[in-house]
Amino acid sequence: MNDYSLMIHGGAGSLDNIKDAKVAVRYLEGIRTVLEHGRTILSAGGSALEAVEVSVGLLEDDPVFNAGCGSVLNEHGRVEMDAAIMNGADLRAGAVAAVSNITNPVHLARLIMAESEHVMLIGQGAMEFARQHGMPYAVDKYFHVPERIEQFQRARKGQQLALDHDSPDEQKYGTVGAVARDKAGHLAAATSTGGIVNKHVGRVGDSPIIGAGVFADDVSCAVSSTGYGEDFMRTVLAKTIADYIEFTHEDADKAVAYGMEYLVKKVNGRGGVIVIDSHGNCASGFTTKKMIHGWIERSGDTHCRF
């Protein structure tokens, strides 16, 4: 097969904040631009690994998404980000958790994969590794976009006033992720996030956890998750979906349907996934009202949806 596939997501949730048509267009434009960048890489014979790293890096640079410069704030009003990348050809992976001041956590995850003997580095250790390798370092202000400060203040206020009325589905989970299959038939996946608004300091979600928020294996599929991370960690959802394909030989569509059913049945989980199987089939599913996502299936047209 001489074709390629690419899928990206920009988070799942109720997205009730996207009633304004202009905002909706802004999100979809962001997704479309990144897909076209990815198309350039993959159509020229670039690797799936490069395509997912570049795609997620671009989403991290777009402040409307909850990753990189647009990351949500934790309970102390600071940014702590998680990211991971995985190569389906040899199961190599790199991940970072609870890092601050790193402009592109996905690039740091790739660096860890390439230059260290480890899969995951966290906090200060990860940031020290980044400095040693000359990674760009940004001051706090770079991450403090006005919308995130307002959102954080609303979350703090809501929690004080209405703990018992907490309705997590009204929150947007805006993690970003990408999965790809290149012309050589190799798969890769990457996920990056600022986590959940007003989260506990030091809280790590599913995004950097191999098998929960990200997974890629050439024999089955590539998966990136978004949603309430604890649900995806407890169900090891990305690996559950990959195992389903490996053991049943079903396609991405069936695997996503199985995965969503499993997520609900086991933990009543909230969120969604994007999946590309080893044949280049693209599939997505979510248990929230919406998920921002887009795809190019087997070198075809570009599609973007909520």
Return the beta strands (E) in the chain as ranges. Answer: 5-13, 81-87, 92-99, 120-122, 172-173, 176-181, 187-193, 214-216, 221-227, 271-277, 282-286, 290-296, 302-305
Tokens found for residue 283: 């599939």
Paired strand residues for 302:
296
Known catalytic residue at 175: yes
When asked if residue 195 is in the footprint of ligand ASP (CB under 6 A), the reply is yes
Pick from 176, 190, 171: which is nearest to 10 by CA?
176
Min dist CB 40 to ligand ASP, Å, is: 27
- Per CB under 6 A, 173 contacts ligand ASP: yes
Nearer to ligand ASP, 101 or 226 (CB): 226
Residues 225-264, one symbol each (x = binds ligand ASP by CB under 6 A, - = not), give -xxxx-----------------------------------
Nearer residue to ligand ASP within complex by CB, 173 or 295: 173
The nearer residue to ligand ASP, 101 or 207, going by C-beta atoms, is 207
In the chain, helix, strand, coil percent, each to 5? Answer: 40, 25, 35
Nearest to 228 by CA among 144, 162, 153, 170: 170
Q: Which of 5, 47, 66, 278 binds ligand ASP (CB under 6 A)?
A: 66
Which listed range, 95-103, 146-154, 168-176, 290-298, lies at the site for ligand ASP (CB under 6 A)?
Answer: 168-176
193 makes contact with ligand ASP (CB under 6 A): yes
**Segment contacting ligand ASP by CB under 6 A, of 56-64, 84-92, 122-130, 201-209:** 201-209
Residue span 2-21 as binding mask against ligand ASP, x where in contact by CB under 6 A, dash where not: ---------x----------
Distance CA 39, CA 74 (A): 35
Which residues, 6+ apart, have CB-to-CB distance to 292 below 8 Å? 9, 10, 11, 12, 15, 27, 28, 31, 305, 306
Task: Supply the minimum distance, in Å, between the C-beta of residue 235 and ligand ASP.
Answer: 13
Nearer to ligand ASP, 133 or 234 (CB): 234
- Minimal distance, residue 175 CB to ligand ASP, in Å: 3
d(CA 85, CA 64): 22
Task: Give the active site residue among 33, 40, 103, 175.
Answer: 175
143 binds ligand ASP (CB under 6 A): no
* Token code pair at residue 241: 């979906």
**Minimum distance from residue 61 beta carbon to ligand ASP (Å):** 17
SS3 letters for 144-179?
CCHHHHHHHHHHHHHHHHCHHHCCHHHCEECCEEEE
The catalytic residue positions are 175
Catalog residues that contact ligand ASP under the rule CB under 6 A.
11, 66, 173-175, 193, 195-196, 205-207, 213, 226-229
